[in-house]
Amino acid sequence: MQSETALTEEKRPAVVPEGTAAPRMWFLDHLKVLLTALVVLQHAAVTYGAPGGWYYHEFKSGQLALPELLVLVAFVVVNQAYFMGLFYMISGYFTPGSVDRKGGAVFLKDRLMRFGVPMLAYAFLLVPILQYALFAAAGTSPRSAAEWIAFLAREFTRFEIGPLWFTELLFFFSAVYVLGRIAAGRRGGSPRSAPGFPGYRAAVAFAVCIGAVNFLIRLGFPIGAPFAPLNIQLAFLFQYVCLFAVGAAAYRGDWLSRISVGAGKAWARATAGLIALLPVLFLISAGPDGDFSSAVGGWHWQAFVYAVWEQLTGMGMIITLLVFFRERMNYPSPLWKTLSEHSYAVYIVHPLILILVSLSVRQISLSPLMKFLLVGPAAVALSYLAAWAIRKLPGAKAVL
């Protein structure tokens, strides 16, 4: 990754002279670690009653007391508002420079290897293991040769890639970017050639527009409805497309160094207010029975309000985190560097680790929220240990 030093906004140079290598952006390495941990915790929350799709649900939303449900719902919906979109924005940020250096063909070849090999390993190795663990926990694991053949045939033919839908989409976005540059006849140009960072009004308008488009998409594809051909949810796709494009523009315009500290603080205050509104919106939308189905899609005012709230909150969280990490976490650290290097492997292996940890404590009698607080951090730590071990395998570091 490229980067900058942790200067104050007033002292940070707005433009890096052409031909000068930009210093490493340590804060993006650190931010990637946080986002990866949040992915693991997000799936742990769903395991224990938060809404969402996952391999194993120990509790359903209807089994939770209202305070626990509010905490877990708030956790997952705030995360969903920004964390995957920020992943795509960071990926988009590093795409133009990588294409400039390697050329489009080599860049896509590298991406195909880095994304394709883990998807194959996930589909044909990790998924059968985790599915066997689930069957074994339920007492229905295959025993006879015929049952094993049927089990393996089912697992291998459905090509389940789980959370690696992220890398699948990222490859498509990267290919479209390269093809767009070819169509436009561009070879890249100056690495700091785009306009400056958009102002507050432009950012708000951008977020509201994404929310409005998401509302329209969710008329036909509500939150939770899978788009089977790509194993994705169309309910969130438009945000991912837009933020990948924003990341590419941010690289050209050096936006990550041009966001002022004042703007970061203003967005932090606004975001705190939006998050504080969430319980009110939840109770108004869901009512005392906790049915929030009107907010996930369809021609309902709740769906429109939620779609706009989601994007405004997401925009605020993204800007707040970028400024905070740039100002407070933009320094080299052996620990953070190691964690960052292992984050991609953690993203790939965490479903198996989380399921094994969840199953190992399923007989312990604790509340759903307490189990989330116990299992979530343990799964994060064990996923990083597993990633460390996997990256020791011959050839693994070239892909992971």
List the pLDDT tens digit at each of the 400 positions of the chain: 333 322 223 333 334 444 444 567 899 999 999 999 999 999 999 999 998 889 999 998 878 888 898 899 899 999 999 999 999 999 999 999 999 999 989 999 999 999 999 999 999 999 999 988 998 888 887 777 787 788 778 877 778 899 999 999 999 999 999 999 888 876 555 545 556 667 888 999 999 999 999 999 999 999 988 887 777 889 999 999 999 999 999 998 889 988 899 999 999 999 999 999 988 887 777 655 666 778 888 898 889 999 999 999 999 999 999 999 999 999 988 999 999 999 999 999 999 999 999 999 999 999 999 999 999 999 999 999 999 999 999 988 888 8
- The answer to whether residue 315 is domain-embedded is yes
Neighbours of 20 (CB within 10 A): 9
State the DSSP H helix or E strand holding residue 275, giving kind and residue range, or none if neither.
Answer: helix 261-286
Where in the sequence is the domain holding 289, given as residue range(s)? Answer: 26-399
- The answer to whether residue 2 is domain-embedded is no
- The answer to whether residue 9 is domain-embedded is no
Alpha carbon separation from 393 to 1, 123, 387 (Å, rounded): 24, 19, 10
| Residue 342 in tokens | 């292992």
- The answer to whether residue 5 is domain-embedded is no
Alpha carbon separation from 119 to 112, 127, 254, 347 (Å, rounded): 10, 10, 33, 12
Alpha carbon separation from 345 to 173, 194, 375 (Å, rounded): 21, 33, 19
- The answer to whether residue 345 is domain-embedded is yes
Which phi and psi (to 5°) does residue 24 adopt? -65, 140
- The answer to whether residue 17 is domain-embedded is no
- The answer to whether residue 20 is domain-embedded is no
The pTM of this model reads 0.89
Query: Is-contact 87 166, C-beta < 8 A?
Result: yes
| Residues linked to residue 232 through DSSP beta bridges, in sequence order | 227
- The answer to whether residue 10 is domain-embedded is no
Alpha carbon separation from 4 to 34, 288, 332, 341, 371 (Å, rounded): 19, 50, 11, 19, 40
CA 227 to chain centre: 18
Alpha carbon separation from 250 to 90, 192, 244, 261, 394 (Å, rounded): 9, 9, 10, 17, 36
User: What is the number of domains present in the chain?
Assistant: 1
| Residue 343 in tokens | 């984050």
- Written as one letter, the residue type at 322 is L
pLDDT of residue 22: 56
